[in-house]
Amino acid sequence: MSTFGSPGGRTTVQKPIPPERGSFPLDHEGECKPIMAQYLRCLRQHRGTNDPECRLLSKSYLKCRMERNLMAPDEMKNLGFSDDNDTSSASA
């Protein structure tokens, strides 16, 4: 008799893969929600393009999360942002 409902008779178990940067706790208190709402509005207005205005909002959102320990602190360059707006003069 064949096993009904099992595709090919084999079962494969995939091991779960943790996120690259650890956990990303939810903002239950809504501390960064206003910035997130502005960012999503910006994306809608610019039809999902990588507009500089939206990038600044995204950066602000991540900074907000880091300041409130909702994500691990990290340098913006490691999160895909350049330092053109933050530091205009490099140390010599």
Domain-located, residue 55: yes
Find the domain containing 35 and state its range. Answer: 30-73
Q: What is the dihedral of CA 66, 72, 77, 78, to 10 degrees?
A: -160
Domain-located, residue 64: yes
Q: What is the rounded average pLDDT of the residues 54-66?
A: 94
CA 84, CA 70: separation in Å to the nearest integer?
25
Domain-located, residue 22: no
Identify which of 84, 27, 34 has the alpha carbon closest to the alpha carbon of residue 55.
Answer: 84
Domain-located, residue 87: no
Domain-located, residue 5: no
CA 23, CA 79: separation in Å to the nearest integer?
15
Q: Which residue has the higher pLDDT, 15 or 83?
A: 15
pLDDT confidence of residue 84: 56
Domain-located, residue 4: no
Per residue in 3-53, pLDDT (tens digit) is 566 566 666 778 877 767 666 778 888 999 999 999 999 999 999 888 899
pLDDT confidence of residue 17: 78
Domain count, the chain: 1
